A and B are shown apart, each in its own frame.
Chain A
Amino acid sequence: MLILWRKTVNGVMLTLTGICAFVTASALFLILGYLVWNGGKSLDWNFFTKLPLSPGELGGGMANAIIGSAKIVALAALIGVPVGFLSGVYIAEFSGKAMANVIRYTADLLNGVPSIVIGIFAWTLLVVPMHHFSAWAGGFALSLMVIPVTLRATEQFLGQVPLALREGALALGASKWRSVATVVIPAARTGIMTGIILGVARVSGETAPLLFTALNNQYWSKGFGEPTASLPVMIYTHAISPYEDWHRQAWAAGLVLLGLVLVANIAARMVLAKGAASQRG
């Protein structure tokens, strides 16, 4: 009787955990399949080269949103990566322990701030004084999300560099900053780069901060001072519209966005694998 009970519990638990694991794995493939099915149908060359058209007109695209997203994300990386990286170096290598704890905790809080709040903040700080939406404001908002991710990746991978390498450099007459710049950071380079790529890929899909900052644009935007189209916002506006052909365009944009994030993920993994291989020789 006891044995039967034990076997039943065992079987139930095995089934339950198995089902949950299956649900997790299938969620990604369902999303992926849905996107490919719906987006693939409406994805064509025009999507990458043409501007959006009015509902009912065929042959429109989202070229401006693709370039707009690239501009905003590049700006976010340009601001966020150096700031996050250098502060990560500071707390991992130079600051005292107490200071490092404070900064790390602050970064974690910043990472936890809902993206919509970041959007309002950037709107108040940049959009209101400038009196118009712009790629500047969008890039700034996203950079606030890049900073904590970069900082944590930098600190984590620098922390994994063995003491023996640091002492090896110091014992040859390297100063502290020199040993960090020439031995410690290069040793952690692949890990840090992977973290940065994943972080930047993650924010490239953010919508909420851009609604308040870069807004959207049906046309090309010149420079960084005008309202700028981006793929996530374009998906949002097209998906909530009542038009069937705009829905299809939204699916296509979703597919492209997911494709870009996927490519970034694979690239990050390849960087990491290549780094590991070169360390093994």
Chain B
Amino acid sequence: MIMSATPKPGITGTRSEETVESPAPPAPAAATGPKLRASNVNFFYGKFQALHSISIDFPENQITALIGPSGCGKSTFLRTLNRINDTIRGARFTGEVVMDGSSITQVDVTELRRRVGMVFQRPNPFPKSIFDNIAYGVRINGLARRSEIADVVEKSLRRAALWEEVKDKLNKSAYALSGGQQQRLCIARALAVNPEVLLLDEPCSALDPIATSKIEELLLSIRDQCTLIIVTHNMQQAARVADLTGFFLMGKLVEFNKTDVIFKNPAKKETEDYITGRFG
């Protein structure tokens, strides 16, 4: 990985501006300042450039949705934020992502991933018991004493609204759960290490509508505890849960604004075309 961090203090984000280079208007929800700030992020898979100078500010304790057609780079961008793309051979990014004032390339990558949790497209519980799945991150990060782990597990499962369903079978394999339960388990597993930011990569795309609505309720209920960034194909989902929405197209951030504005009064024609279903 080659990381050429190029801090650009003048740039605060793109908001509803078309290009990244131009200075942006103040953040729409900048009450607490951005938790996470991406500036001029370019991303390459080998010679292919997947992202073109993306700049976004993610405000604390808000849900930000990233929408766009398949292959537009939204997942790639999300996976840059916890540097999980580092594991891909030939992948590199330029630009800078700053969390709480320090660049994510400066902090230890395991500590970064502890603080920036991730939930994947398909539920990926470990082939372990429900209890051990939740306890995993706590154990490897040494976050709790042995005697406290059971409490952490219960608390995390309650936060993910899964406790009542699994409290009698904590020692059963996580594979015994339904798809929707497995995904909530994965959210609980991520929450167990107290992340400050939670990245969700199309977390409901493999789930039915009932399981989806449970996850959405869950996301709204944990918003006050961490900053959420969700990639979704489902525009209704973005409209239902997100405070802010960014629209990606062909590796570029076309538009970023409050969700109402994006859906009711988009500034760009591409955004409007996508939202009204003219393509994508």
Contacts and interface: CB of A to CB of B under 8 A. Distances in A.
A172 B84 contact: no
Contacts, number: 77
Interface in A196-232: none
Contacts of B111: 173
A168 B84 contact: no
Given A172-B117, A173-B113, A167 B124 contact: yes
B126 A170 contact: no
Given A168-B186, A175-B110, A281-B173, A162 B140 contact: no
Contacts of A278: 127, 173
Interface string B113-128: 1100110101011111
B176 A167 contact: no
A101 interface: no
A162 B87 CA distance: 14
Contacts of A280: 173, 175-176
B110 A174 contact: yes
Nearest to A188: B127
A281 B176 contact: yes
A interface SS class: helix
Given A186-B127, A278-B173, A280-B175, A173 B120 contact: no
Interface residues of A, number: 22
A170 B87 contact: yes
Interface in B140-177: 140-141, 172-177
Contact of B124 (A164, A186, A279, A281): A164
A45 to B, nearest CB: 44
Given A169-B126, A171-B84, A171-B117, 11 more contacts: A165-B127, A168-B120, A170-B113, A171-B190, A172-B117, A183-B136, A278-B127, A280-B175, A280-B176, A281-B173, A281-B174
24 contacts: A162-B124, A164-B122, A164-B124, A165-B124, A165-B126, A167-B87, A167-B118, A168-B120, A170-B113, A171-B84, A171-B113, A171-B120, A172-B140, A172-B190, A174-B110, A174-B140, A178-B140, A182-B140, A186-B128, A187-B126, A187-B127, A278-B173, A281-B172, A281-B175
